[in-house]
Structure 1
Amino acid sequence: MTEPAGERGPRKRVKNYGAGREALLEAAVRVVARGGLRRLTYRAVAEEAGVTHGLVVHHFGSRDALIEEALAHAVRSSLSSSTLEPGTGKVADFSAGLADMVESGPELQAFQYELLLEARRRAELLPHLRGLYEEYFDATRRELSQMLARPVGRGLSRLVFAALEGLVLHQLVFGEREVTEEALAELRALLEGLAEGTDGV
């Protein structure tokens, strides 16, 4: 009688593996966003996700693996929801979803800032952060190069990304979505000017 029940458990776990892993990553993001990295434990994630401690261990194996995967999840979720790289080459489309991204997923943004600050104290986090932030930098550079119809260097792409990241941080802390939208309109106007200057060359 207990044997069939034991067989049903593993089948259910395998069937829900992907969804379960995603839910655990989102729970880890929320834990860190609320209490900082020091609060990130298997038990805290399990409690947040409503699962057993053992399930978190099963999915990730180590706290470092959990941190790394949660960071990758946060960066990729932000990239997909911010319209940082719409691929249209139109300035008007650049970062069109930025303010919405902050409103709909503040935990994702807070999580990334928590890890950036923690990396100043824990050097082992820096390679993971640098590698994943390169995705942001590369996406910004690709989109700017398409908008301006010329290769864009590291300086300009990092300047534009820094402006976007600052807007995200300010909206996260102060709210004021309308200020974010106004600043984005100004940034797009500057980029339009650069694009027109390129056309005239």
Structure 2
Amino acid sequence: MVRRNDERRAALVDAAIEVLAREGARGLTFRAVDTEAAVPPGTASNYFANRDALLTQAGARVYERLQPDEETIARQRAGTPDRETYAALMRELVGRVSGFRTGYLALLELRLEATRRPQLRAVLTERVRADLDANVAYHEQSGLPGDATAVRLIYLALNWLIVEQLTLPEVLSEAERERLVTAAVERIVEA
């Protein structure tokens, strides 16, 4: 029974991500989540104490789904630790994050909502800080060129590139985005 409940909870949180991406934070209601998840009315309210709990779990789930799979991690570790490999890793990252369009758009909605909800802001701040620290630690262990500041600058640059791609995809072509990722690595990361 616990497994089914965990699966249903995950389905409800995934439905919340879809609703956030499509309708925004104002459109995120238990009823909308129930409809998106194709479950009986009242199901979401049985799983989440309130809307804040649903928002918080949606934020955590986005990050969970954005993690690279084991094959991607193995391929990254097998690469030569140079700027070319670094740029390839960053292009893969942009592609993976952009490939989960609704997740990233939901995350943007959550970030905006966090400006009004201190508990959500605390959860997202903790999660983003932990992810950034993990990226720096991974980078330092990988032997790739550059330092912690370079990792943070790449993080900031690529986040806005992804926002641009997902919200105004006609501004830059795919080829331009790939060239910009490579240029960011070449200009920010010291050899």
> With structure 2 as the length reference, what TM-score do the two structures score?
0.79
Structure 2 CA distance for partners of 1:177 and 1:135, relative to 1, 3 Å: farther
Equivalent residue letter for 2:33? V
Equivalent residue letter for 1:124? Q
How many percent identity over aligned positions?
A: 28
Task: Kindly indicate whether residue 63 of structure 2 is the aligned counterpart of residue 75 of structure 1.
Answer: yes
In structure 1, list runs of 5 or more residues that go unmatched.
1-10, 197-201
Equivalent residue letter for 2:184? L
Q: Work out the CA distance in 2 between the residues paired with 1:120 and 1:100.
A: 28
Match of 2:43 among 25, 44, 55: 55
Counterparts of 1:102-117 in structure 2, within 5 Å, are 102-117=97-112
> SS at the partner of 2:39?
coil
In structure 1, what is the equivalent of residue 86 of structure 2? 91
**Alpha-carbon distance, 1:120 to partner:** 2.1
Tell me, yes or no, if the aligned pair for 2:87 and 2:181 is still in contact at 8 Å. no
In structure 2, what is the equivalent of residue 179 of structure 1? 176
Equivalent residue letter for 2:14? E
Higher Rg of the two aligned structures: 1
Q: Work out the CA distance in 2 between the residues paired with 1:104 and 1:151.
A: 27
Q: Work out the CA distance in 1 between the residues paired with 2:73 and 2:128.
A: 13
In structure 2, what is the equivalent of residue 137 of structure 1? 132
In structure 2, what is the equivalent of residue 123 of structure 1? 118
Q: Work out the CA distance in 1 between the residues paired with 2:73 and 2:151.
A: 12
Q: Work out the CA distance in 2 between the residues paired with 1:128 and 1:84.
A: 26
Equivalent residue letter for 1:119? A
Of structures 1 and 2, the one scoring higher in RCO (CA 8 A, sep 6+) is 2
Counterparts of 1:28-43 in structure 2, within 5 Å, are 28-43=16-31
> SS at the partner of 1:29?
helix
Q: Per-residue CA shift, 1:144-188, capped at 9, x if unaligned? A: 3235568944x4332121011011101101223333211112133
In structure 1, what is the equivalent of residue 34 of structure 2? 46
Task: Kindly indicate whether residue 57 of structure 2 is the aligned counterpart of residue 66 of structure 1.
Answer: no
> What's the C-alpha RMSD, in Å, of the aligned pairs?
2.8
Q: Work out the CA distance in 2 between the residues paired with 1:140 and 1:49.
A: 33
Tell me, yes or no, if the aligned pair for 2:17 and 2:102 is still in contact at 8 Å. yes
Q: Per-residue CA shift, 1:83-117, capped at 9, x if unaligned? A: 69944554244224234324432110101111112
Q: Work out the CA distance in 2 between the residues paired with 1:167 and 1:114.
A: 17
The number of equivalent residue pairs is 180
Tell me, yes or no, if the aligned pair for 2:21 and 2:106 is still in contact at 8 Å. yes
> With structure 1 as the length reference, what TM-score do the two structures score?
0.75
Equivalent residue letter for 2:165? Q
Q: Work out the CA distance in 2 between the residues paired with 1:190 and 1:142.
A: 21
In structure 2, list runs of 5 or more residues that go unmatched.
none
Structure 2 CA distance for partners of 1:92 and 1:100, relative to 1, 3 Å: closer
